[in-house]
């Protein structure tokens, strides 16, 4: 029997009690009244966690366990789970506690009401100040860099239609920005309030390298989403700025040479001005090359998602004075 919902739990470095996580998500899925399956996807060979997942799946026909050949990261585990289920609606839940289970039916209902992506937004709780600050800083940076207004993009409890996933790229750590990727593509995204579990309020402080990696992920997403189709805008701004500063320095030194008679041969400022002019010109040229590559490789059939197509009939019925209007919706937007 085909399943209507497929929930994926990627098990990577961070993990809470998998049995408690299973009980949590299963109660939420059962409340939807739909058929479902749960996939544990282990990131790499983790014998202890694999044994735990197998015991949880034993005797159940709607729980499956997948194990990657080696450690690839949480994003790779999530992608493997997506490929392994045929459910038309996919849900994701991290292998640790975040929100109450009653949000899962709300996410599915949001999709039924017209949303194409829905994700949980954790309501304020009595968690530590460090946790609140980290979450606020991360979401504030996303709002400023990517021009969205979501409050809690970092929450990993989400629901998404499969045909939407086919239009999104989740390579690397892009899964962390899934709602933003969908919104920028033009899909309908809804944020659903959810109560945070008390078990998820303990203080979390990560290593400095983790914060650096998150910042690099944000920069990567910002560049690829904003400038992939228009690279000259990015390289043009950078190159134009460098060229302008270098040109201003060279003009200033030229005025000193002409009107004051200053000696410029040994002045470091001259080398800096010439270097900035050359770097600015090269950066502009790199942007032009990027535009050329984008133009050559762009496919005429590939474009933004088409949600609705309206066609007006060419003939008029005898009983009607207006042309017939037929509406079709593209089930697989290109």
Comparing 319 with 123, the larger pLDDT belongs to: 123
What is residue 326's predicted lDDT score, i.e. its pLDDT? Answer: 43
Segment 26-58, tens digit of pLDDT: 999 999 999 999 999 998 777 788 888 888 888
Segment 8-19, tens digit of pLDDT: 999 888 888 889
In this prediction, residue 316 has a pLDDT band, given cuts at 50, 70 and 90, of very low
In this prediction, residue 309 has a pLDDT band, given cuts at 50, 70 and 90, of low
3-state DSSP percent of the chain in helix, strand and coil, to 5: 50, 15, 35
Alpha carbons 330 and 334: distance in angstroms, whole number: 9
Residues 191/151, Cβ–Cβ less than 8 Å: yes
Burial class for 247, CB neighbours closer than 10 Å (0-12, 13-18, 19+): middle
What is residue 158's predicted lDDT score, i.e. its pLDDT? Answer: 93
**Class of 5-227 per CATH?**
alpha beta
Burial class for 81, CB neighbours closer than 10 Å (0-12, 13-18, 19+): buried
To the nearest 10 degrees (0 to 180), the angle between helices 129-146 and 208-227 is 20
Other CB atoms within 10 A of residue 229 CB:
12
């Amino acid at each position: 029997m085909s399943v209507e919902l497929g929930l994926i739990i990627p098990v990577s470095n961070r993990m809470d009690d998998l049995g408690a996580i299973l009980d949590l998500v299963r109660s939420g899925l059962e409340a939807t009244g739909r058929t479902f399956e749960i996939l544990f996807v282990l990131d790499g060979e983790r014998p202890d966690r694999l044994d735990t997942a197998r015991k949880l799946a034993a005797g159940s026909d709607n729980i499956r366990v997948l194990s990657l050949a080696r450690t690839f990261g949480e994003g790779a585990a999530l992608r493997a789970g997506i490929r392994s289920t045929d459910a038309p609606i996919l849900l994701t839940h991290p292998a640790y506690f975040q929100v109450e289970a009653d949000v899962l039916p709300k996410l599915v209902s949001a999709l039924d009401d017209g949303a194409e992506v829905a994700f949980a937004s954790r309501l304020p709780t009595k968690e530590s100040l460090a946790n609140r600050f980290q979450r606020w800083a991360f979401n504030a940076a996303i709002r400023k860099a990517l021009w969205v207004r979501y409050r809690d993009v970092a929450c990993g409890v989400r629901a998404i239609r499969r045909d939407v996933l086919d239009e999104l790229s989740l390579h690397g750590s892009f899964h962390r920005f899934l709602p933003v990727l969908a919104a920028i593509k033009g899909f309908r995204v809804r944020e659903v309030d959810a109560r945070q579990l008390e078990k998820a309020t303990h203080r979390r402080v990560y290593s400095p390298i983790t914060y650096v990696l998150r910042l690099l992920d944000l920069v990567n997403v910002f560049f690829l989403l904003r400038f992939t189709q228009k690279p000259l805008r990015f390289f043009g701004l950078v190159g134009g700025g460098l060229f302008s500063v270098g040109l201003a320095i060279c003009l200033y030194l030229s005025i000193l040479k002409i009107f004051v008679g200053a000696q410029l041969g040994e002045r470091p400022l001259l080398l800096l001005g010439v270097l900035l002019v050359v770097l600015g010109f090269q950066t502009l040229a790199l942007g032009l090359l990027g535009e050329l590559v984008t133009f050559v490789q762009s496919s005429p059939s590939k474009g933004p998602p088409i949600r609705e197509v309206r066609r007006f009939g060419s003939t008029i019925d005898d009983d009607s004075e207006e042309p017939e209007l037929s509406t079709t919706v593209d089930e697989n937007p290109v």
